[in-house]
Structure 1
Amino acid sequence: MIFALIVVAVLGLFFAVHRYLWCRLIRDTTRAGGRVRRTGAVAAFVLPVLVLAALLAERLGAPFVLQQVLAWPGYLWLALVLYLVLALLVGEVVRVVWLRVIPARTASPAPLPLPAPASPPAQSPSPAPSPLPAPSRRVFVARAVASGATLASAATVGYGTATALRGPRLKRVTVPLAKLPRAAHGFRIALVSDVHLSPVLGRTHTRRVVETVNRTGADLVAIVGDLVDGSVPDLGPAAEPLRALESRYGSYFVTGNHEYYSGAAQWVDYVEELGITPLENARIELPGFDLAGINDLAGEREHAGPDYARALGGRDTARAVVLLAHQPVTVHDSARYGVDLQLSGHTHGGQMWPVTYLAAATNPTVAGLAHYGGTQLYVTRGAGAWGPPVRVGAPPDVTVVELASMRA
């Protein structure tokens, strides 16, 4: 019942936003009954339906080709909606100032006509047709605000799309660990998260990620969840380039919440076929430290959630342990289990400003390195994008985490 109420509320807000956009972009700027207004009315109905279709296509089992056809326009429009609304809300201030604060310029009184000289009566010509009335000041302001908002939002989404599609940046961070022996000083982990293979981001995007990782010459590759948004039959070919990942000690994978929306078990099996080792609440010993991984919190619905006791129980506590966990919020549990370093993703760094503020309010750390007691947490912004292939104020990244021994 509560879920149904939430869905109704979200849909109500979604269509209310589109009603607002129609009012400000179409109704206030066009002539009633005109072709432009009729076209705008059709778009105001089609575009929100297209967004819903893009969001639901995979879950309803639509053919993958249809998912791709719907995804690009649907998700890009969703991003445009965000920035159109923000720009138009700024425009409301402009509207008030222009119409209510700045006085309208009054026309100068016309000079009195001079008396015409007497002339013989002549047949009066037909009166000239009256010119069409000029648009009112209110319509002029509405058109100016709508044009400015459209240009600003389109430029923002265009920039954000280019940022997302050109692939992840390479970042480097050094993390000192008190328990790390001198022999393991300088061990490099290539951290990858939130690739989000989908009808939008496919095989080409995976190749970009793999090329970025392989350029680092890392000792180990860690993929910390949200690799996919879809099934193995649809997205298996897009994930295939992961087979080419190169590192001295191999590649490891833990689930994210989106794996559980897409069939986590099939993806765990598939990444293993690609030569990547899943760590499902498991631990391995590496030279100088332990590497552990836990399932994502979303797995609890399938009785496959995080199990710290299984992943970390019985280990030698004198050795440093690095934990792969998709969501940063689990860091408090990690601290209780004596984890030295947790590597996470999930947040996308907010992906699109101002969603960054929401991400900051719901996660202990949105991006970068932070300390929680004796546990350090590093959060990558992720290598892909969920939904709209747009990144604004949160560029995608692959991070090389270099472990440093305090005994070196």
Structure 2
Amino acid sequence: MMIVVLLVVGLGVVGLVHWYVWRRMVRDVSRAGGWYRRVGTGLAVVLPVVSVAALVGGRALPLAAERWLAWPGYLWLAVLLYLVLALLVGELVRPLLRRWVRRPAGQPVPEPVAVTVGGPVGGPVAVAVEEEAPPVVEASRRLFVARAVAVAAGGVAAGVVGNGAYGVLRGPRLKQVTVPLARLPRAAHGYRIAVVSDIHLGPILGRSHTRRIVDTINGAQPDLVAIVGDLVDGSVPDLGPAAEPLAGLRSRDGSFFVTGNHEYFSGAAPWVEFVRELGVHPLENARTELPYFDLAGVNDIAGTAEGHGPDYARALGDRDRSRASVLLAHQPVTIHDSVRWGVDLQLSGHTHGGQLWPGNYVAALANPTVAGLDRYGDTQLYVTRGAGAWGPPVRVGAPSDITIVTLASKQA
């Protein structure tokens, strides 16, 4: 029953938002019966349907069909967000613009018009009445203001989304972060880990996106590559070819992978085996002892429902506490478990840095750190913004990145 109520409320909110956009962008700026109003009204009905279909279609449609829905559906969601924000700002500007249009700077104030009316004892009395604009002129002014606000809002939304989409489709940029570890030996000073997360291969981001990521990582010549979950949004048969370039990753100590929550939406076990075939080593609640520190990884929290959630005892229970440790865990919320188990550094993703401003404020409500490096007790947490995007292939205020984490020894 609760799901039905939430569904009805959600659809009601979606309908109300689209009605508001239709009113400000279509009805208020056009005349009834015109082509613009007919087309705008049609889009106001079709676009939300396509967006909902794109969100739920991945579970029921083949990938080829999903692509036809994903591009318009997801892009519209991003445009809708910034269109609504721009229109709300326009509501504040609208009264000032009406006043400016009514009486532009330098225009003289209209002279009062004297109107003669009967006095209290029958004699004529002159009363000054300010001349008002004819109804036709006032309607024309209102139309001008409505169109100015609509054009400005549409331009802002298109510009913001276009720039954000370009940032995703061109590929992530390298980011450099240095993290000092107290237990890291001097010989490991300067050890470099390429951290990449949230690639989100799917109906929009595919094989060419993976190739760009691999080329960027290889160009940085890291000592180790860490893929920290949410590699895909789909099944191995559909997206295996898109992930194949990962076999070309090159680093001295190899590439490692832990699951994210999205792997469990389409079957984590087949993906774990597939990346293993590509030469990437899955860390399923496991640890490997590298020459200078322990590298461990835990499954994502989403695997708990399947009996494959994070198990810190298996990953870290019998390790030598005198050695430095680096843990791969998709979601930052596991940091408190890492503190209890004496982890020196946790590498995470999941948040996308909020992806679409002001989403960073929403992400902060659910995650201890949204992006960057933080300290919790003796444990440090680094959260990458990720190399892809989920839903709209757009990022605003949260550029995608691949981070080169350089470990520094305090003994150096």
Same fold (TM over 0.5): yes
Residue in 2 aligned with 1:343?
347
Residue in 2 aligned with 1:211?
215
For 1:76, the aligned partner's letter is L
1:382 counterpart (375, 378, 386): 386
Question: How much has 1:11 moved relative to structure 2?
Answer: 2.2
Q: Comparing 5-14 with 192-201, which one deviates more in the overlay?
A: 5-14
Alignment of 1:185-196 (within 5 A): 185-196=189-200
Q: Secondary structure at the match of 1:290?
A: strand
Give the whole-Å Cα distance in 2 for the aligned partners of 1:224 and 1:245. 15
1:292-312 CA distance string (max 9 Å, x none):
000111111111111111111
Alignment of 1:159-170 (within 5 A): 159-170=163-174
Give the whole-Å Cα distance in 2 for the aligned partners of 1:27 and 1:231. 43
Q: Secondary structure at the match of 1:199?
A: coil
Give the whole-Å Cα distance in 2 for the aligned partners of 1:264 and 1:229. 11
Residue in 2 aligned with 1:297?
301
1:85-140 CA distance string (max 9 Å, x none):
000000000113334x558349968xxxxxxxxxxxxxxxxxxxxxxx66522111
Residue in 2 aligned with 1:260?
264
Paired residues of 2:351 and 2:385 also in contact (CA < 8 A)? yes
For 1:67, the aligned partner's letter is E
Q: Comparing 393-402 with 179-188, which one deviates more in the overlay?
A: 179-188
Residue in 1 aligned with 2:328?
324
Give the whole-Å Cα distance in 1 for the aligned partners of 2:12 and 2:210. 37
Residue in 1 aligned with 2:368?
364
1:404 counterpart (402, 405, 408): 408
Give the whole-Å Cα distance in 1 for the aligned partners of 2:157 and 2:322. 54
Alignment of 1:129-168 (within 5 A): 136-168=140-172
**Long gaps (5+) in structure 2:** 112-135
Residue in 2 aligned with 1:122?
none
Residue in 1 aligned with 2:131?
none
Question: How much has 1:35 moved relative to structure 2?
Answer: 2.1
Residue in 1 aligned with 2:83?
84
Residue in 2 aligned with 1:27?
27
Q: Given the two structures, how large is their TM-score scaled by the length of structure 1?
A: 0.91
Q: Secondary structure at the match of 2:179?
A: strand
Question: How much has 1:235 moved relative to structure 2?
Answer: 0.8
Residue in 2 aligned with 1:63?
62
Alignment of 1:274-313 (within 5 A): 274-313=278-317
Question: How much has 1:4 moved relative to structure 2?
Answer: 3.3
Residue in 1 aligned with 2:46?
46
Q: Secondary structure at the match of 1:267?
A: helix
Give the whole-Å Cα distance in 2 for the aligned partners of 1:6 and 1:298. 22
Alignment of 1:216-227 (within 5 A): 216-227=220-231
Q: Secondary structure at the match of 2:174?
A: strand
Identity fraction in percent:
66
Q: Secondary structure at the match of 1:358?
A: helix
Question: How much has 1:74 moved relative to structure 2?
Answer: 0.9
Question: How much has 1:33 moved relative to structure 2?
Answer: 2.3
Residue in 2 aligned with 1:392?
396
Give the whole-Å Cα distance in 1 for the aligned partners of 2:102 and 2:187. 77
Give the whole-Å Cα distance in 2 for the aligned partners of 1:107 and 1:203. 66
Paired residues of 2:374 and 2:380 also in contact (CA < 8 A)? yes
Residue in 2 aligned with 1:37?
37
Q: Secondary structure at the match of 2:375?
A: strand
Give the whole-Å Cα distance in 1 for the aligned partners of 2:5 and 2:359. 23
Paired residues of 2:101 and 2:141 also in contact (CA < 8 A)? no
Q: Secondary structure at the match of 1:401?
A: strand
Q: Secondary structure at the match of 1:136?
A: helix
Question: How much has 1:54 moved relative to structure 2?
Answer: 1.0
Q: Comparing 33-42 with 367-376, which one deviates more in the overlay?
A: 33-42
Q: Secondary structure at the match of 1:332?
A: helix
Root mean square deviation of aligned Cα: 1.9
For 1:38, the aligned partner's letter is R
Say whether 1:11 aligns with 2:15.
no
Q: Secondary structure at the match of 1:28?
A: helix
Give the whole-Å Cα distance in 2 for the aligned partners of 1:41 and 1:268. 47
Question: How much has 1:10 moved relative to structure 2?
Answer: 2.2
Q: Secondary structure at the match of 2:155?
A: helix
Residue in 1 aligned with 2:318?
314
1:159-188 CA distance string (max 9 Å, x none):
001111111110111111111112222211
1:242 counterpart (242, 246, 266): 246
Q: Secondary structure at the match of 2:233?
A: coil
1:258-312 CA distance string (max 9 Å, x none):
1111211111111111111111111110011100000111111111111111111
Residue in 1 aligned with 2:122?
none
Paired residues of 2:87 and 2:150 also in contact (CA < 8 A)? yes
Q: Comparing 245-254 with 355-364, which one deviates more in the overlay?
A: 355-364
Question: How much has 1:402 moved relative to structure 2?
Answer: 1.0
